């Protein structure tokens, strides 16, 4: 061990000026690290407020394209789209997910035509489409893993064919990465990326998202604990990661972010694979609301994102992407 003693070592020397702090900074955040999640819906209005997520809206297609253009101007080149589906289109099987005229497929085609260079990420999961709000189909009121896999495979193929560059299975069924990779390969879609929600925990931080996509009412008091991970576990996340890599995931993701950065660090250190983190709706809203109230300084958002980088994340899905990009650019 090197002895670091005072006053030979005064750590405050390199903290004395902003430019010095920049020179010795170990981690950085740039617009290259940010992915903007966007909510879309089949609606007349261009965009509608989401009360539980200040500054975030549900967009119709026209507004989605306008938003994407603004993001590109700010240097954000990746978007993840999430649909709010009309309740009359929901059923037990999530059938509307397989309609190539649904809002997500239309959005993917529209984005691909207008913004071929933008990275389009599509969630693979049934919960926006099911009337019970679960990510899979039910048998005897249990989420049926293997039945669900067949549907996820079909959904994934449709999303890739509609123009998704990246498929993001977010449902936590066992074996989903494997079946999705198989269907992609057997249809010649060899370059479609799988960004697996590898360590997705059964978390209460998803509340505002479920409001935003309208699945909260469908789900009611039911929990997703029989498929999403127990937040007590870390080894299990490593096990999931090993399996996802084996099954064909290109990128793995941890979700939520802030309270789970030990998981990000452990995965990145052990597997050296591209590792993303999702700063989820609840985390965003907690910070954003406190900033709006004046209880926290607005820099807290950038701090929370940079800490994700420090933990080892290569990129971050965050609702604050656009806002932070404009700060980084100014």
Peptide bond into 48 cis (omega under 30): no
Task: Say if CB 128 and CB 215 are below 8 A apart.
Answer: yes
Specify the DSSP class assigned to residue 312. Answer: T
Token duo for residue 297: 């300084």
Identify whether 101 is a catalytic site residue. no
Instruction: Candidates 7-15, 22-30, 120-128, 140-148: pick the segment binding ligand PBG (CB under 6 A).
Output: 120-128
Does 58 participate in binding ligand PBG (rule CB under 6 A)? no
Q: How many residues bind ligand PBG (CB under 6 A)?
A: 12
Alpha-carbon Rg of the chain, whole angstroms? 20
Does 210 participate in binding ligand PBG (rule CB under 6 A)? yes
Strand 78-84 relative to strand 34-41, pairing? parallel
Which one of 47, 90, 178, 200 is the catalytic residue? 200
Helices (H), 187-320: 207-212, 216-219, 235-247, 261-271, 281-293, 299-311
Does 125 participate in binding ligand PBG (rule CB under 6 A)? yes
DSSP bridge partners of 167: 122, 194
CB count within 10 Å of CB 211 equals 18
Which residue is closest to ligand PBG by CB? Answer: 209
| Least CB distance to ligand PBG at residue 289 (A) | 15
Task: Say if CB 154 and CB 180 are below 8 A apart.
Answer: no
| Least CB distance to ligand PBG at residue 157 (A) | 18
Q: Of 68 and 155, which CB lies nearer to ligand PBG in the complex structure?
A: 155
Specify the DSSP class assigned to residue 130. Answer: B
By CB under 6 A, name the one of 33, 127, 244, 247 that touches ligand PBG: 127
| Least CB distance to ligand PBG at residue 189 (A) | 22
| Least CB distance to ligand PBG at residue 23 (A) | 35
Task: Say if CB 251 and CB 275 are below 8 A apart.
Answer: yes
| Least CB distance to ligand PBG at residue 64 (A) | 17
Strand 138-139 relative to strand 119-124, pairing? unpaired
Tell me, residue by residue from 251 to 290, as one string, x for binding to ligand PBG by CB under 6 A and - for no binding. -----------------------------xx---------
DSSP secondary structure letters along 87-98: GGG-BTT-GGGG
Tell me, residue by residue from 72 to 91, as one string, x for binding to ligand PBG by CB under 6 A and - for no binding. --------------------
Q: Of 40 and 280, which CB lies nearer to ligand PBG in the complex structure?
A: 280
Identify whether 255 is a catalytic site residue. yes
By CB under 6 A, name the one of 209, 227, 260, 276 that touches ligand PBG: 209
The count of C-alpha atoms lying within 13 angstroms of the C-alpha of 18, restricted to the half-sphere facing its C-beta, is: 0
CB count within 10 Å of CB 330 equals 5
Instruction: Candidates 86-94, 112-120, 204-212, 293-301: pick the segment binding ligand PBG (CB under 6 A).
Output: 204-212
For the chain, the residue count is 330
| Least CB distance to ligand PBG at residue 223 (A) | 10
| Least CB distance to ligand PBG at residue 213 (A) | 8
Dihedral angle, C-alpha 253, 258, 262, 264, nearest 10 °: 20
By CB under 6 A, name the one of 67, 165, 171, 247 that touches ligand PBG: 171
Does 135 participate in binding ligand PBG (rule CB under 6 A)? yes
Strand 142-143 relative to strand 138-139, pairing? antiparallel
Which one of 90, 120, 178, 255 is the catalytic residue? 255
First-to-last alpha carbon distance for the chain, in angstroms, is: 43
Instruction: Give the interface with ligand PBG as residue ranges (CB under 6 A).
Output: 123, 125, 127, 135, 170-171, 206, 209-210, 224, 280-281
Q: Which residues are catalytic?
A: 200, 255
């Amino acid at each position: 061990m090197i002895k670091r003693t005072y006053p030979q070592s005064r750590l405050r020397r390199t903290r004395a000026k902003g430019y010095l702090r920049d020179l010795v900074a170990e981690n950085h955040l740039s617009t290259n690290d940010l992915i903007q999640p966007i909510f879309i819906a089949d609606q007349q209005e261009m965009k509608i407020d989401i009360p539980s997520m200040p500054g975030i809206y549900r967009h119709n297609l026209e507004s989605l394209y306008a938003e994407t253009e603004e993001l590109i101007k700010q240097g954000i080149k990746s978007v993840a789209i999430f649909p709010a589906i009309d309740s009359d289109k929901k059923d037990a099987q999530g059938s509307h997910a397989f309609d190539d005229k649904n809002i997500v497929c239309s959005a993917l085609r529209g984005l691909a035509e207008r913004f071929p260079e933008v990275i389009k990420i599509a969630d693979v999961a049934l919960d926006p489409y099911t009337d019970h709000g679960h990510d899979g189909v039910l048998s005897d009121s249990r989420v049926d893993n293997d039945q669900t896999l067949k549907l996820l495979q079909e959904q994934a193929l449709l999303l890739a064919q509609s123009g998704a560059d990246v498929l993001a299975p977010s449902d936590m069924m066992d074996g989903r990465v494997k079946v999705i990779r198989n269907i992609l390969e057997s249809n010649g879609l060899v370059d479609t990326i799988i960004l697996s929600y590898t360590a997705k925990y059964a978390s209460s931080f998803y509340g505002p998202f479920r409001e935003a996509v309208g699945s909260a009412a469908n789900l009611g008091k039911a929990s997703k604990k029989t498929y999403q991970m127990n937040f007590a576990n870390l080894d299990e996340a490593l096990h999931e990661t090993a399996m996802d890599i084996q099954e064909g995931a290109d990128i793995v993701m941890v979700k939520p972010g802030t309270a789970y950065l030990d998981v990000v660090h452990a995965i990145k250190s052990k597997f050296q694979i591209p590792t993303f983190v999702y700063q989820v709706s609840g985390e965003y809203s907690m910070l954003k609301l406190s900033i709006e109230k004046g209880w926290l300084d607005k820099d807290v958002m950038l701090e929370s994102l940079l800490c994700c980088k420090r933990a080892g994340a290569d990129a971050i899905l965050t609702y604050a992407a656009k806002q932070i990009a404009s700060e980084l650019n100014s």
